[in-house]
Every structure is written in structure tokens, then in C-alpha cells.
A and B are shown apart, each in its own frame.
Chain A
Amino acid sequence: MSKVIVIRTKNIYNSNEEVNSEKINNLYKRGFHLLTGFKDSKNSIKALLTTEKKTGIKINTIGGRSLSTRPKVSLSLADYLIEGGFQEKDILIWDRTNRELRDADYSLNMNLRGIKIFGTDSNTIGYDNSLTVHRSIGSRFSSIQSGIISQSISLAILKDHGLAGITAGMKNYFGSIHNPNKYHDSNCNPFVADLFDTTAIREKHKLTVIDALTVQFHKGPAYHSLWAENYGGLIISTDPVAADYIGWQVIEELRKKHGLPSLKEENREPLYIKTAEELGLGSADPANINIIKEEI
């Protein structure tokens, strides 16, 4: 049975629309407690990750300042990892390009000390020279994903997606390859699942955290305030498929609430989630998912 935590809070944003630091920290603390059963950070992190390994936090910054993984959300997660036993030098927050990171308000850091923050297009990083060929995928991996890190967290934004249906934890890894534009046919199916099934991701991915503080439930992946809901939540799971399945249900709930047709009715049901289940990557069956919802 897969476990998925949906942890929410009210008023996650301050009056200046900044993420409230205390509230996001509390979401992580309570979320990991519910996921692992351990109240303290050391034991809960130990249950999920190996603190000696270089760990990547793959964020999604394609949406600019309005709809990217916010710095406070990723840095708060990094702080929780450090509190749980990680050294800050072993944590890397990353995405495709430094420009996108800067546009989403990140301050880059490639120094040996401190939490590292940089994109694949940084000098000396880049994409692998060789192709990874697996099922429908033929791509060069970011050397961050394939080489630098040993374990990986997908810290994705939850969005409606005009082609994929939704974008969440698994599709976030499209940002780890050089040619994601080639994988948007047929609602990104089976490409999202096939990419996740590559060794570089499947064997390193340990945790999905979906940033659902603001959810773009329609007309995504671009930001449209009219269809963006202040949801104030995080979705956390070690099962990448179950996490995305629950993220999908959140989007459907919001669409229904706002009188919009379902994704299926719009012919863009995210079938890649089912494909991922068929590949044995996790569960997309609600009967096999233990959903724990809590509001703090």
C-alpha cells in the first residue's frame, strides 16, 4: 500500500504574497511525520534518504516568478534535510537553466560550501555526450542527474498542462534531459513513464514533493491568475506514481469546483500515470493508495 500525504494550511502567503516561512516549515515537519511515523527530522529523513549521499532537489522554474517552485519552498526542504543530518554541501537545488532559476528568484551558488543552486547549462556541467536509450526515450541526461547526484527528490509544481493533462512529480524530470520537446505527443504518454523508468531516474529517485501552494488547474502550464487556486498544500510520497495520481485528483477537484470539464472530457487525461503503474513504478489505483489528508 502506497502512502500519500496531502498536508495543507490556510494563509500560506503573507500580505506581500511571499510564502510564510514558518508555515512552510510546519508543512514539511508535519508532512514527513505523517509519511514516516517519526516526529523528529533525523529519524524521518533517515527513513527516506541516505544523508551521506549527494542529493538533488529537482525543481521546476519554467513558469517564471508566478508559477515556479518558490525559493522558500525548496530552501525550507533543504533546511529540513540539513536538520535531519545532511551536510549543506551535499544538497543541490537545480533545474535546466540558470536563466530560469534567476527568473524564479533563485540566487545561484556553485561554491563548494553551502547549498548549491545552479542549472544544467552552467559551465562544466551540461548534458552527457552519450545518449540514454530506453523504451521510447533517446536523450542526453543532464550530468547533474546522471553523474553528480546519487539520490533525487522531485520537488515539482502542480499544474494543469495543455498537452500532458497535468504536470507534477514525474514530468518534472523532463527538465533533466536535453530534448523534452520531443515527448509531448499523445499526452506525453508513454514518454513521462518511460523517462522515469530509466536508470538515472528510477534508481535515484527517493521522494516526491509536489508544491501545491498555488495550483494552476486550467490553461496551464502557463500562469493565469483566473484559474490559479491558492490551495496551500504539499503532496508528499515515496511512490512517484501515487503522488502524481493524487495531484491529478486535486486538479480534477478544482476543475469541478470551478465548473470546468474533466481532463478526460478534454481528451487530455494524463494516461502516462497509468502507464507508469504498468511499468511497476508505483500505484495509480486508489484502492492501493493510503491517502492521509490533514490541514494544519
Chain B
Amino acid sequence: MKRRNFLKFSAAAGLTPKKCLLPFASDLFSFSNESNLSNVEARYYKKLPDREIECHLCPRFCKLGDKERGYCGVRENRGGIYYTLVYGKACAVHVDPIEKKPLFHFLPKTTALSIATAGCNVNCKFCQNWEISQVRPEQITHIDLPPESVVTTAEKNNCPSIAYTYSEPVVFFEYMYDTSLEARRRGIKNVVITGAHVNPEPFKDLLEVVDGVKIDLKAFNQDFYTKYVRGKLQPVLDAIVIASKSHVWLEIVYLVIPTLNDTVSEIHKMCRWIKNEIGPDIPLHFSRFYPYYLMKNLPPTPISTLEKLRNTALEDGLNYVYIGNIPAHEAENTYCPHCGEIIVNRTGYLIGKINIKNGRCVFCGHEIPGFWT
């Protein structure tokens, strides 16, 4: 199914997000008043002599002189003090099904208030949200939405969770962290949708205040990360291991791009690593690529490729392997690894009956890992 048809299909099936509170900035490409950017001091940086600083938030360790910004474009050195420019400056606010993140084992059939600011600390050539992730905050429209207001908005829209998503939440760490604290205080969960190009210290701190993390593992080799992501693989793998050892729920998404990261051998290698380091029960989503941004020269991923890779992962012993971006594919469902029955039935973002009770398959009683209520 082509992307256009997929979107038509989704709309016809009522699968589009329930509510858009602020359109994507790409529709509104215009300038925000620069003076309207935030000037909250950033966390995780080191002051150096001569008004220079070194950012310790992500593995880039940007070393910046006065008036310079980091690679992310949203953190700026002003006179030797490092500031986040996007604290409370949301450029996208939507109410989305949690399955859109995708998180399949986390409060299924609920919605997440989903927010983003401008900026990203990598530059994936296939980014689907580059209009907000690859711009500076003053280049797009945003609204003032401080942490308390984010939580209030979630409450008003009956969202049991808040998702930090769309761009790269690592770069709006302070905003995400403070919002998560407030949300937790008011009984709302927090989920982070991230590429996890982040240093261990801030990531561990973040995991203390959130409930779920979806990590995009974009390939299983450094060459791909160098050429197409402009980042490093090892910190992402480290973050996956850290998250798996924490209390938070973790799922992994792997975007399959034809000819670039779609070999069976690479998937074998990755699945063995996942099984050994984390275990067989972590959900793994193989997601379909659509040509976009700087990668328009490749076709959408063939469905047969996704199915082949899913079979590879299942053969390697992973229990919950999904296919994404292909609505109504049978691999959207959750199957009990013990009895084989469908325990969560999905068609796009329409969720059917959930055959899980007290965290166990209703058919055979097998324990199904996840965050179900």
C-alpha cells in the first residue's frame, strides 16, 4: 500500500490521531520571536575557561564558545552559561493512540498526550519529522506550554500518559524531566520516544521519572550510524541495556530501509544481542520505511522483507516481534508465545479485544510482560 493510500485508509478507518491540538510546524513554517525562546539553564554541562562550555547531555560532547549552539540547535552558550531555548516551548501537541508511538505492551487502547519541541542531536537522512527536528526553535511556530500546563492538558483530554516524541526528546531534556515529575505527582505516566543518543548519567536520571521508553535502533553497525544518522551506535546500545535493567517498560523499533540495513545477517546479529543482553521478551518492531527527507531515492520497504526479518527474529528466539506501518498486517497482533492465540488484536490504531488478565494470557495463563493497567 502506498503512503497516500495508507493515509486515506487510515482516515477512513478512523485510525488517525484523535485530536490535534497544535498542527505540525511544517504546515506553519514561520518564525517565532527569538526573544520568546526560553532561557532556562541547561543541565549536564561543564563550564570551561574563557566562557566556553562542554555539553555532557549526549555523546557528541559539544564544546562551544560564547554565543554558539550545540549540534541540536536548541541549546546555546551565553557568556559561559549554557541555556536550553525550548523549555516549555512545544511545537507539536497531539492526542495520539499509544500504539502510534509504537508501544504495544504499555496501556493498550489508551491515548497519550504527545509533545515535542524543535531540535535533534542527530540528522537521520530518513527522518519523518525533519520539519521540526532539523530546525532551530526560532524557525517554527511554538506555543508556551510549561510543565504544569502539559499535565493539565493531558488530564483534560483523559490521557493516562504523556509521550515525549516526534523530534528528539533528549534535546529538551529539562522540559521533559520537569514535566515528568509533575505528571507523576498527578498520577499520569510518562513515555519517551527516542533514538537514545544520550549519555548514561542523564539517561539514568530520566529513567527515574518515566514509565516507558521506546528506542529507535536504526541499524546494528556503526557504518550506518556514521553515514545515515551522523551519530554513534554504542551509546544507543548502552542506553538499551540501561533501560532494560531499570523499572521502565522498554520496546525497540527498527526501521527497515531497503538495501541499507535489511540483511538477514545483520538482523541475526542484532536479535542475538538483544536476546543475550536483554532477554527474549522485549517487543521488537520492524517498521516500514517510506522515502522522505534526504532519502527519496529508495522505495518503501517490501512487505516480504519485513516478514522475512520478522521470521528471522522469531527463529532467533524473540517472543514479541511486530511489523509496523502496514495497517491490518497480521504481525500487528500480539500472540501468546506459549499457546499461539491472539491476545491483543490490532488493525492500525484500532484495538480489538485484549485477552490479557492480570498480566497473563486468558487462554493458557502464560505471563505476558508489559504495563497493562
Q: Which residues of A are at the interface with B, using a C-beta cutoff of 8 A?
A: 62-64, 97, 99, 121, 126-127, 129, 131, 133, 138, 162-163, 178-179, 181-182, 184-185, 219-224
Contacts and interface: CB of A to CB of B under 8 A. Distances in A.
Contacts of A182: 71, 73, 123, 134, 230
A131 B130 CA distance: 11
Interface of B: 29-31, 34-35, 50-52, 63-73, 123, 125, 134-136, 138-139, 230, 293-294
Contact of A220 (B34, B65, B230): B65
B125 A121 contact: no
Contacts of A121: 31, 34, 138-139
A181 B31 contact: no
B65 A222 contact: yes
A162 B61 CA distance: 14
A179 B134 contact: yes
Given A64-B67, A179-B134, A181-B70, A222 B29 contact: no
Contacts of B139: 121, 127, 178
B71 A181 contact: yes
B30 A126 contact: yes
A100 to B, nearest CB: 9
Given A99-B34, A222-B68, 18 more contacts: A99-B35, A121-B34, A121-B138, A126-B30, A126-B31, A127-B29, A129-B29, A131-B293, A138-B293, A138-B294, A162-B52, A162-B64, A178-B139, A181-B72, A182-B230, A184-B71, A222-B66, A224-B50
Given A63-B67, A121-B138, A138-B293, A179 B50 contact: no
Nearest to B119: A181
A221 B125 contact: no
B171 to A, nearest CB: 11
Contacts of A126: 29-31
B118 to A, nearest CB: 11
A189 to B, nearest CB: 14
Nearest to B60: A185
Contacts of A224: 50
Nearest to A139: B134
B294 A222 contact: no
A62 B67 contact: yes
Given A121-B34, A127-B139, A129-B29, A181 B69 contact: yes
Nearest to B66: A222
A64 B125 CA distance: 33
Contacts of A178: 135-136, 139
Nearest to B34: A99
A182 B230 CA distance: 9
6 contacts: A99-B34, A127-B29, A131-B293, A181-B72, A182-B71, A184-B71
A162 B34 contact: no
